[in-house]
Amino acid sequence: MTPHPPPHLSTQSDAPTTNVAGSDPERSALAVTWASARALFFREVLTRVTGSRGAWVWLLLEPMAHVAFLMTVFGFVFHRTIAGIDGALFVMTGLLGFFLFRNTATRAMGAISANQALFTYRQIRPIDTVLVRSAVELIVSLTCAMVLVLGALLLGYEALPSDALYAGSAWAGLWLLGLGLGLVLSALEALVPEVGKLVALMMTPLYFASGVMLPANAIPQPWRDVFLANPVMQGLECLRAGWFAGYHEASAAALSDVFTCGLLALALGLALHLRFADRLGQA
């Protein structure tokens, strides 16, 4: 008879099988996606905060300084009211909404090229980096908005939105527009690098064409309808209508149009990422 091996030399174990990292090899696809997204999120946050000396200060200070400067010019220097609203608050809401859209789109556009080394891990796809960057930008923009609103309240402004639900919906619509455009541009920029330079040039005229400094009703017809074909201007009009009880947005501005354009851009971006998945991972 062959003797049984001693217990301490047994080749079988009652412990569950684990992979090298000590995690369950039978994890669901959702669990793997969540773990990858969480790791990418913290990596993106750390990169933004520790990228250079004082990066965490400039992360919030740069956009807030821009908004605060123009609020000071319109509120304390010119003492202007725009569409019956204090000029400082009018400019603040316009800048916060436009920066949310612009920063989400432009930072998402560069996500693939900035994270190219990570695509050697099969759990990480190019689209993951775009979505995570957009989420980080949303958090940064919300933080800036809360700090600026708090500062305006301390200075005596009535800065709280009158209809928080409607204003929040317009804010979400502008972010969705930025996310959809970012998905499209991230695919195009990875395929044709010159797209990034073209987008940088176009953002400045878009800044003035989106009604950041003036209400849509101040634009005479037929040009008003032309400008309102821009969904960003419609989003800013809806944002101000939700923020200020006495503001009358242009009749052609509709929150449904903002979300429709955002969803169409999102669908186009997803289609581009699916069609060129192999090329995007090797760009």
The whole-angstrom separation of Cα 180 and Cα 108 is: 9
pLDDT of residue 22 exceeding 70, the answer is no
Mean pLDDT of 51-79: 67
Instruction: Give residue 243's pLDDT.
Output: 94
Name, of 22-26, 101-105, 140-144, 218-222, the range with top average pLDDT: 101-105
Mean pLDDT of 247-270: 93
Residue 77: pLDDT band with limits 50, 70, 90: low
Q: Which domain holds residue 130?
A: 52-277
Question: Does residue 270 fall inside a structural domain?
Answer: yes
Residue with tokens 């989003």: 235
Question: Does residue 179 fall inside a structural domain?
Answer: yes
Instruction: Give residue 251's pLDDT.
Output: 86
Question: Does residue 19 fall inside a structural domain?
Answer: no
Domain count for the chain, please give it.
Answer: 1
Question: Does residue 15 fall inside a structural domain?
Answer: no
Question: Does residue 241 fall inside a structural domain?
Answer: yes
Instruction: Give residue 96's pLDDT.
Output: 92
- pLDDT-wise least confident of 1-15, 35-49, 88-102: 1-15
Question: Does residue 45 fall inside a structural domain?
Answer: no
Question: Does residue 250 fall inside a structural domain?
Answer: yes
- Greater confidence (247 vs 64) lies with 247
pLDDT of residue 9 exceeding 70, the answer is no
User: Taking the model in full, what pTM does it have?
Assistant: 0.84
